[in-house]
Structure 1
Amino acid sequence: MSRRERDRVGKQGGAGKQGGRGPAAPVTVTVCRGCCCGTQEKHPGVDHAGQYERLRAAVGDAGRVRAVKCLDTCAHSNVVVVGPSSEGRAAGGRPVWLGWVLADDMIEEIATWVHSGGPGVAEPPGLLDLQQISVSRRVGEGLPG
């Protein structure tokens, strides 16, 4: 049984479901940690591992934080993608790509946004407007689910 099936079985009876379609998906924060993002070579002096752990702690149970090898947008490293929850997607929210996420205040703003509901539910706070980047459809569709 897959993790997704276990989650669905564990939440039967209505809790955490959306219209009978299974458990609601949380806001997902995908952190690139590939060839450029997350490396001392490209960004000396940035505590990449500590930054990732601070993001996970700040998001807590409000969303899901995961690291992936490469999002193929190296010119904008460090890249973070904030994906909408089920509720946010139903409201028209789409993944928001953020570039140059190098400072702790950006980590705090991402966590604040996740706690507020993320894309489709809440507007991104403060500096995140300046961090938004556009990616090609090929790159955007390649984000692991």
Structure 2
Amino acid sequence: MARRTRKEPAAPAAPVTVTVCRGCCCGVAAKHPGVDHAGQLERLREGVGDAGKVRAVQCLDACDHSNVVVVSPSAEGRAAGGRPVWLGWVLADDMLDEITAWVRAGGPGLAEPPGTLDLQAFAVSRRVREGLPG
């Protein structure tokens, strides 16, 4: 009797991930009155759609740059040299639109970010960077 082997489906490639801080400083009306924080998160989720995933986390420990968003490359983007990009002061709708357009274009490693996002980018310490939830 011939033995049949079952081919396991390939694991899906890791998509571009947009991590949105919603902890002690980011995403709170006390620090940013007049900003619709829940609406921002929904706008990112709708804008990114199937091109990636959006997740909210409690605190990214970069409170001086509140509201913080981290755009992490897809598996393909990382293989092409892309690294997570930390963006601060993400408060306006046009910033959200630029983030979603960048993700839809491929994100870090595969597409250049819109030039205005360069003004929002900042570097974090290795301690903070390594503490980013997986």
User: 1:84 aligns to what?
Assistant: 73
User: 2:34 aligns to what?
Assistant: 45
SS at match of 1:127: helix
SS at match of 1:59: helix
User: 2:5 aligns to what?
Assistant: none
User: 1:111 aligns to what?
Assistant: 100
TM-superposed CA distance for 1:23, in Å, is 1.7
Q: Aligned partners of 2:15 and 2:33: how far apart in 1?
A: 33
Q: Aligned partners of 1:110 and 1:26: how far apart in 2?
A: 15
When the two structures are superposed, what TM-score results if normalisation uses the length of structure 1?
0.85
What pairs up with 1:1-145 in 2 under 5 angstroms? 12=9, 17=10, 22-145=11-134
Instruction: State whether residues 109 and 126 of structure 1, in contact with CA within 8 Å, keep that contact through their aligned partners in structure 2.
Output: no
Listed as ranges, the gaps of 5+ residues in structure 2 are 1-7
Q: Give the fraction of aligned pairs with identical amino acids, expressed as a percent.
A: 78
TM-superposed CA distance for 1:126, in Å, is 2.9
TM-superposed CA distance for 1:115, in Å, is 0.4
In the TM superposition, structure 1's runs of 4+ consecutive aligned residues that sit over 6 Å from their partners are none
Instruction: State whether residues 30 and 82 of structure 1, in contact with CA within 8 Å, keep that contact through their aligned partners in structure 2.
Output: yes
When the two structures are superposed, what TM-score results if normalisation uses the length of structure 2?
0.92
Q: Aligned partners of 1:43 and 1:127: how far apart in 2?
A: 21
Higher relative contact order, structure no. (Cα contacts within 8 Å, ≥ 6 residues apart): 2
**Matched length:** 127
Q: Aligned partners of 1:96 and 1:89: how far apart in 2?
A: 12
Q: Aligned partners of 2:96 and 2:115: how far apart in 1?
A: 12
User: 1:6 aligns to what?
Assistant: none
